[in-house]
Amino acid sequence: MTSGPLMPKATAVWLVDNTALSFEQIAEFCHLHPLEVKGIADGEVAAGIKGMDPVMHEQLTRDEIERAEKDPGYRLKLKESTVRIPERKRTKGPRYTPLSRRHDRPNAILWLVRNHPELKDAQIMRLVGTTKSTIQQVKERTHWNIAQLQPLDPVTLGLCSQIDLDFEVNRSSKDKTVQPAEAAHTLLPAEVTTAKETLEPFAGFSAQEAEVSEEKIDVDSVFAKLKQLKKDD
């Protein structure tokens, strides 16, 4: 199906008033129903709409209209525009959000934070078109309207497309690196587990305590020897 004129009904009004084209020809060119075109001719439809000249606006040529008037079976062809409209390129930075949707952005941020915590602040900014400070306020629950916020899907709100959301989520999952688990339950070497325990005389004591204990033992042994000598005498 080819594209029609810019203002279908206004063009149909002009064609009905200024040409001898059939209702079917006008209806097909303007993408309207033939009964609707008949209603325009009877004044029952499009009352008050000013006709728009498709020749002046370079949507039809005069030769095209004359050819269709001579042949009721001929179908009008829309004139190709000579103006080339450049493709719209996505600019970097936050997405533009219409004024009517801007009050929904905190709700969308809350939904993203709860359902996709892996998303970075920069990704949320791209999806919702918000600022980093607003994201922090929602996360820290310091937003001025935090009591009234409800988590709402940004796709449902019309703030972003499902394709954009899936792209950012997949991107986060790829960037996320798996941290190695700590070796909390590492097995000890065999030489450690199979080695026989050697009983140290002062195990569990500090070096200073061990020296004191050694001194006590030496003094006791000396007194014991002295007593033994006295008995022998």
List of residues 6+ apart from 58 with CB closer than 8 A: 79, 81, 82
Rounded to whole angstroms, the Cα distance separating 163 from 125 reads 16
Query: Cβ atoms within 10 A of the Cβ of 10, count?
Result: 19
**Can you tell me the mean pLDDT for 144-158?**
89
Give the pLDDT score at 201: 52
> Across 31-73, where does the E strand assignment appear?
none
Question: What band does 179 get if pLDDT is binned at 50, 70 and 90?
Answer: very low
Nearest to 12 by CA among 70, 53, 42: 53
With beta carbons less than 8 A apart as the criterion, state whether 32 and 42 touch. Answer: no
With beta carbons less than 8 A apart as the criterion, state whether 155 and 203 touch. Answer: no
Establish how many alpha carbons lie within 13 A of residue 16's alpha carbon, considering only the half-sphere containing its beta carbon: 26
Question: What band does 2 get if pLDDT is binned at 50, 70 and 90?
Answer: low
**Can you tell me the mean pLDDT for 220-232?**
66
Please indicate, yes or no, whether the overall pTM of this predicted structure exceeds 0.85. no
116 pLDDT higher than 60? yes
Rounded to whole angstroms, the Cα distance separating 32 from 179 reads 62
182 pLDDT higher than 60? no
pLDDT mean across residues, the chain: 77
Helix %, strand %, coil % of the chain (to 5): 50, 0, 50
Structure-block tokens of residue 114: 């709860």
List the Cα angle 79/84/90 in 5-degree steps: 135
113 pLDDT higher than 70? yes
